[in-house]
Amino acid sequence: MPIAEFDLIAKYFTRPAKNLSTRLGVGDDCALLAVPQGYELAITTDTMVENVHFFAGADAESLGHKLLAINLSDLASMGAKPIAVTLALTLPDTNEAWLAAFAKGLLSLAAHYQVDLIGGDTTRGPLTLTLQALGLIPTGKALKRSTAQPGDYIFMTGNLGDAGLGLKIAQGYLCAQPTAAEQRFNKPYPQIDAGLALVGAANACIDLSDGLAGDLGHILAQSQVGACLDWQALPLSAAVQAYIEETGDWAMPLTAGDDYELCFTASPGQAAALTASNAFACTKIGIIESALGLRLNKAGHIQPITVTGFEHFS
Ligand code: ADP
Ligand code: MG
């Protein structure tokens, strides 16, 4: 007999609260959260739809991990500390092996950050995974997209394009060393610690979910500035460099999504303080300019970047 809705919620998605902010978790009509004085609540939602965001038959544990990771990444990019999440699950059936693996992936990453699953909704339909994440940020301190300044340096954490390569591999590209790229695509890790370290130490920030060109483009549009990226400086793994040499597809790391690294801008003074503090590793990849548009400096030749990231309705 298939497991009933409330038994499913109790068995797979109800755990004792760990976060001090949680006043009431799963089981009532609403959950209750305490917001400490001097803090604002940061709220974000992301959905993953089968055959749009992941392949049918994708590993359930990785899906649970990734659903949480991509939402925590949004909190990281604002400099918020995650406290709780809600989960809206639409399932074609109640496959308990799938549910156990999905819950394991989600709840182990949640436990790592002391994030509580405080509620949600469970319905039948085409496999659709939606999570809402809530975090705390000292009042007025959130890192926004709209506050980059001409003269800021542009930085990013981690490497660019590994997840994009992971997707190419899943689509059939033969890579000599696929493992790291596949991992980056299937199981990204949110840059929570970097986000927290950037509060008060950077001017603008975004997480790289849809590709650097498009995501940095959001900072440029909202801040009403332009930028020039330095091709030579982009942090590309050996596997991504080999992919580019083999295929000639040098735009892939600029346009592929799913890296979930942070891209931020900092004044030269802020940048010097960040480098001195050694809080986390990052790479300087370009500069914010007052002339609008996004440009790429490739061996001294400056060209406009016209490619963008993923967009659902175009
Ligand atoms: P209601 O009908 O009042 O909206 P539900 O019957 O949908 O409540 O859910 C019962 C309880 O279980 C609620 O506290 C809800 O937040 C929680 N819940 C439902 N689905 C999930 C889920 N997938 N993960 C975590 N909590 C859930
Ligand atoms: Mg409901």
Q: Does the CB atom of residue 89 touch ligand 1 within 6 A?
A: yes
Residue 310, pLDDT score = 67
Widest CA span in the chain? 67
Q: What is the Å distance from ligand 2's center to 78 Cα?
A: 29
Contacts of 245 (CB under 8 A, 6+ apart): none
Q: Examine the domain organization and report whether 284 and 159 are in the same domain.
A: yes
Could you tell me if 225 and 195 lie in one domain?
Answer: yes
Whether residue 125 sits in one domain with residue 157: no
Using the predicted structure, report yes or no on whether residue 177 has a pLDDT greater than 80: yes
For residue 234, how far is its CA from the centre of ligand 2 (angstroms)?
46
Q: Which of 138, 163, 190 is where one domain is finished?
A: 138
Task: Pick from 118, 122, 124 the residue to mutate for probing ligand 1's pocket: most ligand atoms within 8 Å of its CB.
Answer: 122
Contact criterion met (CB below 8 Å) for 285 and 156: yes
Residues 129 and 159 in one domain: no
Residue nearest to atom 20 of ligand 1 (CA): 121
- What average pLDDT does this structure show over 252-278? 96
In a domain, 223, yes or no: yes
pLDDT in tens, 53-95: 999 999 999 999 999 999 999 999 999 999 999 999 999 999 9
Protein residue whose Cα sits closest to atom 22 of ligand 1: 120
pLDDT digits (tens, 9 = 90+) for 283-304: 999 999 999 999 999 999 999 9
What letter represents residue 283's amino acid? T
Among 22, 47, 121, 130, the mutation site with the greatest number of ligand 1 atoms within 8 A of its Cβ is 121
Determine the distance separating the centroid of ligand 2 and the alpha carbon of 117, expressed in angstroms. 15
Instruction: Label residue 149 by pLDDT band (50, 70, 90).
Output: very high
Residues 130 and 226 in one domain: no
CATH number where 63 lies: 3.30.1330.10
CA angle 33, 76, 165 (to 5 degrees): 135
- Looking at the structure, do residues 12 and 44 belong to the same domain, yes or no? yes
Q: Determine the residue of 3, 9, 63 to mutate for testing ligand 1's pocket, defined as the one with the most ligand atoms within 8 A of the Cβ atom.
A: 9
Q: How confident is the model at residue 1 (pLDDT cuts 50, 70, 90)?
A: confident
Instruction: Report residue 314's pLDDT band, with 50, 70 and 90 as the boundaries.
Output: low
Q: Which residues of 191-214 are buried (b: 16+ CB within 10 A; e: fewer)?
A: bbebbbbbbebbbbbbbbbbbbbb
Indicate whether 210 and 165 sit together in one domain. yes
Examine residue 14 and state whether it is found in any structural domain, yes or no: yes
Pair 106, 173 in one domain: no
3-state secondary structure of 180: helix
Of 144, 149, 258, nearest in space to 206 by CA: 144
Using the 3D structure, point to which of 138, 162, 186 is the last residue of a domain.
138
Across the range 198-224, mean pLDDT stands at 97
Tell me the ligand closest to 86's alpha carbon. Answer: 1
Q: Are both 14 and 127 inside the same structural domain? A: yes
Q: Backbone phi, then psi, for 47, in 5-degree steps?
A: -115, 145
Mutation to probe ligand 1, out of 8, 13, 26 (largest number of atoms < 8 A from CB)? 26
- Nearest residue (CA) to ligand 1, atom 8: 29
Q: Is the pLDDT of residue 137 over 70?
A: yes
Structurally, the chain folds into a number of domains equal to 2
Q: Which atom of ligand 1 is nearest to the CA of 88?
A: 23
Inside any domain, residue 186:
yes
Residues of the chain with pLDDT > 70, as a percent, come to 98
Q: How far is the CA of 313 from the centre of ligand 2 (A)?
A: 29
Structure tokens at 197: 């370290």
In the chain, the percentage of residues whose pLDDT exceeds 90 is: 96
Task: Kindly state whether residues 159 and 105 are assigned to the same domain.
Answer: no
Whether 137 contacts 81, CB under 8 Å: yes
- Which one of 104, 138, 172 terminates a domain? 138
Q: Give 116's pLDDT tier (boundaries 50, 70, 90).
A: very high
8-52: pLDDT as tens digits: 999 999 999 999 999 999 999 999 999 999 999 999 999 999 999
Q: Please report the pLDDT score of residue 313 as a whole number.
A: 72
Q: Is the CB of 39 under 6 A from ligand 1?
A: no
Instruction: Determine the structural domain holding residue 236 and report its residue range.
Output: 153-304
How many C-beta atoms lie closer than 10 Å to residue 6's C-beta? 11
- State the ligand closest to the CA atom of 122: 1
Do residues 164 and 296 both lie within one domain?
Answer: yes
CATH code, domain carrying 195: 3.90.650.10
Per-residue pLDDT band at 309 (split at 50, 70, 90): low
- Residue 309 inside a domain? The answer is no
Tell me if 148 is assigned to some domain.
Answer: no
The residue-averaged pLDDT of 180-208 equals 97
pLDDT of res. 306: 83
With respect to residue 146, please indicate whether it lies within any of the assigned structural domains: no
Q: What is the pLDDT of residue 307?
A: 73
| 147 within domain boundaries | no
| Inside any domain, residue 310 | no
Assess whether 22 and 120 both reside in one domain.
yes
